[in-house]
Amino acid sequence: MSDARRPDSPPWYLTFFGEDFWAVADHEYTPERTAAEAGYLAAVLDTSAPGRRVLDLGCGTGRHAVALAARGFGVTGVDSGGWALGRAESAAAAAGVPVDWLRVDLLRELPWPVDEFDAVVCVQSFGWGSDAQQLRLLQEVRRVLVPGGLLILDHSNVLAIAGKYVPEATFETEGLRADFRRTYRTASGRSTGEIEVRRGDAEPVVIHDDVRMYQPAEVRDLLTRAGFTVERVDADFAVGREPAPTTRYVQFVARSRADTPAAITAWEGRRDTRGSTQDEAHPSTLDLRWSPDEFEFVRPWVDAAFRSAYENGGLAELSRAYPLSDPYSADMAAPALSGHFGLDLAPGMVTAGAGATGLLHACAALAVPGPVLRLAGGHPDLPRWAARLGAETITTRFEDLSAALDRHAPSVLVLDRPTITGDLFGRERLEEIAETARACGTTVVLDEAYAVYAGPGASCVPAVAEHPNLIVLRSMSKGYCCGGLRVGFAFAAPGLTRRLREIAPPLGAGGAGLAVALRLLAQGDVFGALRTRIAEVKPVVARTLRRAGLKVTEGAGCLPWVTVDGERGAASVVWEKRGVRVKEIGPVEVVCGAEGVSGAAFGGRPWEVPGSGGRQGEHAGSGGSGRRDGPLYKIAVPLSEARLTAFRDAFADAR
């Protein structure tokens, strides 16, 4: 066995691309070829990159890096070969152009010691490691790119090479002879071999390689899994030329998909020049991102649950609970949950976890390989985590949902009930969606964290018994104001529950929190007083906001928030002027009003819920359906007299 193939030897590419390799390669990479390739790269970068900072991966002797620098790009060239980088530095000096050079093993020295770039180019330097290493490399490319940054990835098309593949070949010119001996392994897609290089009278040198050769479809898949959107695929460095099976060199032009902000980022305070958060700098700000005052309307039931749990078990005893024989708390929770929802829930249909957030994180793994389908304006966390795992995310509108399911056949469809604009669609519509999704092989994850305000009788949990592709999530944070318990529940048919438990962490719900949660749920619908208060105040808040010139959607009457269309930036001026903090969702494209969301995709009747004062969507300010180009703002309804007074004072001129 040669040194290059011993397990303890360095990776082959660290020694392969030295002086002997380049003595042969220089005859292939002619000045004319380099000029044509650099012209293609510059043309794509000029038209598609968001800026002119370029990282050249596997830059070799700098033939592309120097050419791009000569065209005014700010270039950093990275390679693992010291000899090649020395020659690249000399080439840049001779051309009189500035290029930063860096020696890095791109597959193993992660993260790369570089700043961010507007674009990355990688020409004839892909496939040196395993598939997993190639994926990590692309993920690292995405990390160093600015949001929306561009990648131009060139690779050799194995479809064109395989038909002409020969195990032995010789290249000979004056003073140089290279004998190629190689083997292509179909099952692994790797070409392994050696080149024996003879230069003049010197002793021959043997260098070894081991290259993964890809079909274009495999490269596209890796790019998608790494978080890129492929915008175009070119053939042989010609813009717009469609690749064919016989195309030797294929270039992917791909853009880094921007991360959807995590839900928790809505709570990050903005810092002023003195380092203080916005709340610290302006303590009089009215924070309408949430409803802390709703707790006063459920406090008696919450206090009773705590007393009952601690009187019967004691905090110390409950905190020591570690139910290894019931790791998902299903046996413990099923009876109380069955009583709460008024149906028979077997333990095999219940999974307890660390709140709805923890369960959404587990469901993100169900979404791989993707794609994930979500509604515009929906909760971002599951799609965001799934994207990090390599799943593509597709956003659609409610009225286009049926067509999107049929076209994309996603792994997971994630829905929020109610939607961000307060559409608390009913079980009939959900069941139509679940049936359509099942025909596409799609699992539906329904997040009902906000549906608690309508009471347990309004839940879609009963639907899981009839739809084997449906997961319904509930939590204790909204309404109950007990998010600190870190308890949530996933309901699904037994088969889907088994799949979920394969990825959901066991023992996710703590003993003390679970004991309180189950006692609270056992009290049934505790939101009557809260719904009454919301019904009193919400129309007043909506009317005041409209008088301030804002476009308001109320949604279902039992929900303690309204939304405001922020198109043209007018709304943000209103908040700043009046010292009000609201939650910004967007920019998004959503559908407003009951008629818009029922649309042509799924029928169903607008649903009357307890305390709504009528059919949902009656007060949908903009009505119908439509596109939003600006952000959407979610405004919590102030429920206490103190917060309501502060709201009225802020909008005194609009009353």
CA–CA distance from 216 to each of 41, 131, 223 (Å)?
19, 14, 11
φ, ψ dihedrals at 171, nearest 5°: -120, 130
CA nearest to 100, candidates 82, 85, 120, 110: 85
Q: ∠57-59-60 over CA atoms, to 5°?
A: 140
For tokens 């409209």, the residue is 546
307-355 tens-digit pLDDT: 999 887 788 888 888 889 999 999 999 999 999 999 999 999 999 999 9
Instruction: Report the alpha-carbon distance of residue 502 to residue 523 in Å, rounded.
Output: 32
Banded pLDDT at 143 (limits 50, 70, 90): very high
**Cα(547)–Cα(571) distance, integer angstroms:** 13
* Predicted confidence (pLDDT) per residue in 68-97, tens digit: 999 999 999 999 999 999 999 999 999 999
The answer to whether residue 117 scores a pLDDT higher than 70 is yes
8 Å CB contact between 42 and 65: no
Distance CA 395, CA 377 (A): 9
Residue 202 burial by CB count (10 A; 0-12/13-18/19+): exposed, middle or buried? exposed
Average pLDDT value for residue range 5-26: 84
What tokens appear for 270 in the block? Answer: 């903005």
Decide which of 9 and 130 is more confident.
130
The pair of structure tokens assigned to 85 is 């980088």
Answer yes or no: is pLDDT of 586 > 70: no
Residue 177, phi-psi category: left (phi > 0), alpha (psi -120 to 50), beta (remainder): beta
CA distances from 253 to 55, 127, 234, 239, 453 (A): 15, 17, 8, 10, 48
Percent of the chain with pLDDT over 90: 78
Residues near 353 by Cβ (< 8 Å), separated by ≥ 6? 328, 359, 362, 488, 489, 490, 504, 505, 508, 509
| Average pLDDT of the residues of the chain | 88
User: What whole-number distance in Å separates Cα of residue 39 and Cα of residue 24?
Assistant: 24
**pLDDT by residue (tens digit) across 533-575?**
999 999 999 999 999 999 999 999 999 999 999 875 678 888 9
415-453 burial code (b ≥16 CB/10 A, e <16): bbbbbbbbbbbbbebbbbbbebbbebebbbbbbbbbbbb
Class (C level, CATH) for 263-295+528-654: alpha beta
Same fold, 13-155+215-256 and 299-521: no
Given this model, what pLDDT does residue 93 score? 98
CA-CA-CA-CA torsion sign (385, 387, 390, 394): positive
Query: Are the beta carbons of 81 and 110 closer than 8 angstroms?
Result: no
DSSP 520: H
Element housing 375 (H / E): strand 372-375
pLDDT at 599 over 80: no
Counting Cα atoms < 13 Å in the Cβ hemisphere of 435 gives 9
* 8-state DSSP, 261: P
Q: Between vectors from CA 213 to CA 211 and to CA 214, what angle results, nearest 5°?
A: 145
CA-based nearest residue to 245, from 282, 277, 217: 217
Name the nearest CA neighbour of 654 among 578, 547, 574, 580.
547
- Each residue's pLDDT tens digit, 296-310: 999 999 999 999 998
* Other beta carbons less than 10 A from residue 612's beta carbon: 26
pLDDT of residue 458: 96
Instruction: Note the pLDDT tens digit of each residue in 461-492.
Output: 999 999 999 999 999 999 999 999 999 999 99
Q: Among 511, 517, 507, which Cα is nearest to 353's?
A: 507
pLDDT in the model for residue 198: 95
CATH level 2 (architecture), domain 299-521: 3-Layer(aba) Sandwich (3.40)
pLDDT at 496 over 80: yes
Rounded to the nearest 5 degrees, what angle is found at the Cα of 227, between the Cα atoms of 225 and 231?
100
Residue count of the chain: 655
Q: Give domain limits for the chain.
A: 13-155+215-256, 263-295+528-654, 299-521
For residues 46 and 109, is the Cβ–Cβ distance under 8 A?
no
Report which residue type is found at 580.
V
Four-CA torsion 140, 142, 146, 150, nearest 10 degrees = 130
d(CA 330, CA 492): 12
Residues 240 and 351: their CA atoms lie apart, in Å, by 51
- Higher-pLDDT residue of 280 and 232 is 232
CA pseudo-torsion sign 386, 390, 391, 395: positive
Q: What's the CATH class of domain 13-155+215-256? A: alpha beta
Could you check whether the bond before residue 505 is cis, i.e. omega within 30 degrees of 0? no
Instruction: Determine phi and psi for 536, rounding to 5 degrees.
Output: -75, -45
pLDDT at position 574 is: 87
pLDDT digits (tens, 9 = 90+) for 386-435: 988 888 899 999 899 999 999 999 999 999 999 999 999 999 999 999 99
